[in-house]
Structure 1
Amino acid sequence: MHRRDFLQKTAFGAMALSFPVIPNFLKGIPMGVVVHSYASRWNSKTPSQAYPAFTNAIDLLEHCHQIGAGGIQVVVKDWSADFVKKVRTRREKLGLYMEGSIGLPKKAEDVATFEKEVANAREAGAQILRTVSLGGRRYETFKSQQEFEAFQKSALLALQLSEPVLKKHKIKLGVENHKEWLAPELAALLKQVSSEWVGVTLDFGNSIALLEDPMEVVETLVPYAVSTHVKDMAVAEYADGFLLSEVPLGKGILDLPRIVALCKKNNPNVTFNLEMITRDPLEIPCLKDEYWTTFEGISPTALARTLRMVKSHPYKPELPRVSQLTAEEKLKAEEDNIVSCLAYSKNELNLN
Structure 2
Amino acid sequence: MQMTRRRFGQSALAATLFAGFPSLAIAEAEGVLPRKSPLGVAATGLSAHLRGLDGVAKGLREDPVAFLDYVRSLGGGGVQIGVGQADISRFRARLEQLGMYYEGQASLPTRSDGDYGPFEASVRAAAELGATCVRAVSRPPADSTGRRYESFTSLADWSRWLAEANTIIERCVPIAEKYRVAIALENHKDRTVAEHVALLKRIDSAYLGSLIDPGNNMSFMERPEETVTALAPWVKACSLKDMGVAPYAEGFLLSEVLFDTGMTDQARLFAIMRKANPRIFPTTELITRDPLKVPVLTDRYHAAFADRRPRVDRWMAMVRRRQTALPIVSTLSPAEQFRLEEENNRRVFAWGLAKLA
TM-score range, shorter chain: 0.7 to 0.9
Aligned counterpart, 1:7:
none
Aligned counterpart, 1:22:
none
CA apart distance, 1:54: 1.8
Aligned counterpart, 2:258:
248
CA apart distance, 1:255: 2.0
Once the two structures are superposed, residues 55-86 of structure 1 have per-residue CA deviations (whole angstroms, 9 ceiling, x without a partner) of: 3311111011222211101134xx2x332222
Q: Distance in 2 between matches of 1:287 and 1:334?
A: 31
Match of 2:60 among 54, 65, 88: 54
Aligned counterpart, 1:84:
88
Aligned counterpart, 2:215:
205
Say if 2:105 is the partner of 1:101.
Answer: yes
Match of 1:305 among 301, 314, 328: 314
Aligned counterpart, 2:136:
131
Match of 1:162 among 165, 172, 178: 172
Aligned counterpart, 2:25:
none
Paired residue secondary structure (1:107): coil
Aligned counterpart, 1:172:
182
Q: Distance in 2 between matches of 1:53 and 1:185?
A: 37
Identity, in percent, stands at 34
Say if 2:233 is the partner of 1:220.
Answer: no
User: 1:211 and 1:149, CA in 2 relative to 1: closer, same or farther beyond 3 A?
Assistant: same
Q: Distance in 2 between matches of 1:222 and 1:243?
A: 26
Q: Distance in 1 between matches of 2:331 and 2:265?
A: 30
Q: Distance in 1 between matches of 2:164 and 2:251?
A: 30
Q: Distance in 2 between matches of 1:67 and 1:292?
A: 41
Structure 2: runs of 5+ lacking an equivalent: 1-35, 141-145
2:50 alignment partner AA: W
1:118 alignment partner AA: V
Say if 2:345 is the partner of 1:338.
Answer: yes
Q: Counterparts in 2 of 1:313-328, with a 5 A limit? A: 313-315=322-324, 318-328=325-335
Q: Distance in 1 between matches of 2:114 and 2:148?
A: 26
- RMSD over aligned CA atoms reads 1.6
Q: Distance in 2 between matches of 1:233 and 1:134?
A: 24
Aligned counterpart, 2:77:
70
Say if 2:42 is the partner of 1:34.
Answer: yes
Farther-moved stretch of structure 1 (288-297 vs 238-247):
288-297
Structure 1 stretches of 4+ with a deviation exceeding 3 A read none
Structure 1: runs of 5+ lacking an equivalent: 1-27
Q: Distance in 2 between matches of 1:292 and 1:150?
A: 17
| 8 A Cα contact 1:236 1:244, kept in partner | yes
1:31 alignment partner AA: L
Farther-moved stretch of structure 1 (90-99 vs 236-245):
90-99
Q: Distance in 2 between matches of 1:223 and 1:319?
A: 32
CA apart distance, 1:322: 1.0
Q: Distance in 1 between matches of 2:307 and 2:322?
A: 26
Q: Distance in 2 between matches of 1:29 and 1:340?
A: 11
Match of 2:157 among 147, 160, 169: 147
Q: Distance in 2 between matches of 1:124 and 1:229?
A: 20
Match of 1:292 among 298, 302, 311: 302
Aligned counterpart, 1:23:
none
Aligned counterpart, 1:272:
282
Match of 2:52 among 30, 40, 44: 44
CA apart distance, 1:309: 1.4
Q: Distance in 1 between matches of 2:309 and 2:256?
A: 26
Farther-moved stretch of structure 1 (287-296 vs 109-118):
109-118
| 8 A Cα contact 2:37 2:352, kept in partner | no
Q: Distance in 1 between matches of 2:267 and 2:124?
A: 35
Q: Distance in 2 between matches of 1:281 and 1:95?
A: 35
CA apart distance, 1:52: 4.5
2:38 alignment partner AA: P
| 8 A Cα contact 2:243 2:254, kept in partner | yes
Paired residue secondary structure (2:67): helix
Q: Distance in 2 between matches of 1:53 and 1:116?
A: 24
| 8 A Cα contact 2:250 2:297, kept in partner | yes
| 8 A Cα contact 1:38 1:277, kept in partner | yes
2:134 alignment partner AA: L
**TM-score, normalized by length of structure 1?**
0.86
**TM-score, normalized by length of structure 2?**
0.85
Q: Distance in 1 between matches of 2:47 and 2:312?
A: 30
Q: Distance in 2 between matches of 1:235 and 1:283?
A: 10
Once the two structures are superposed, residues 82-136 of structure 1 have per-residue CA deviations (whole angstroms, 9 ceiling, x without a partner) of: 3222211221221111111211133344122321221122223322101111441
